[in-house]
Amino acid sequence: MKQKPLTQSLSWLHTWDGLVFGWILFSIFLTGTLAVFDKEIDGWMRPEIPAHSLDKAQSAQRALDYLQHQHPDASAWNIGLATERSPSLTVSAGEQRRGGWEVRVFFAVWLLSLGYAVIRPWLDAWREQLGLTALLCIGLPALNLLGGNRGDHVYLEVTTVLMGLLLAWTCWKLSQPKQERDALGVGHGAGGMVRTDLPGGTGGGFCAALCRRGGVVVLGGAWVLLGLMYLLGP
């Protein structure tokens, strides 16, 4: 049985995944709309919560005493006084701020990744970067689980693991011998030009070549300039 080209498989996957993600987006929008009225819903579902009548000065002092005792080393304190919509006193404390070295490291790693993608052969670069991304997507939730995770972000972690499995499958497909890649619709044409079984004949080779080299450079040019400006800035 002849195997379908990669483009036909991706088209089928796009069609049916669109329905699944459409319902996921609908649920996200619905829950986001309900979150706007979280105070009203909370008061309606828990009418037994007692109300204490304190003036704003007493409420602010009480919240300040609590923050000074519980979070003395916090970088910021936030006190929300009671209003008609939110009749409860809310307090929060920010974590200790870290330096800008994290952002600089991010841009440095991104610039190295861009240079790596341009220098390496396109198929090797795709396979290696997809494999590394799949390892991170699967490994980070596993480390979080072993580190005493309470399940606060279980949906995000499950989605990340599924994305990692999809990337690992793609990396495995790209690691197949040339004959099997040709059956998938991915390979090399004459002169090393990338060949894909796209509709339109010779246009597929041009689009693939553009995505292989030109797309990386053109789309990444603005990010390169931004990264250099940030790294060389004050």
Which residue did the predictor score with more confidence, 186 or 7?
A: 7
pLDDT digits (tens, 9 = 90+) for 65-112: 888 887 777 777 887 777 766 667 777 777 655 556 777 777 777 777
Asked if the structure places residue 190 within a domain, the reply is yes
Number of domains in the chain: 2
H-assigned helices in the chain: 6-36, 38-45, 56-70, 101-119, 122-146, 154-174, 178-184, 203-209, 215-232
The two structure tokens encoding residue 187 = 């390979």
Domain assignment of residue 154, given as a range: 99-232
Please give the share of the chain, as a percent, with pLDDT higher than 90. Answer: 0
Q: Are residues 198 and 125 in the same domain?
A: yes
Q: Are residues 173 and 74 located together in one domain of the fold?
A: no
**pTM, full prediction:** 0.43
Residue 15 lies in a domain: no
Q: Is residue 204 part of a domain?
A: yes
Write down which residue in 54, 76, 94 finishes a domain: 94
pLDDT band at 194 (very low <50, low <70, confident <90, very high): very low
Residues 77 and 107 in one domain: no
Same structural domain, 42 and 152:
no
Q: Are 77 and 118 in a shared domain?
A: no
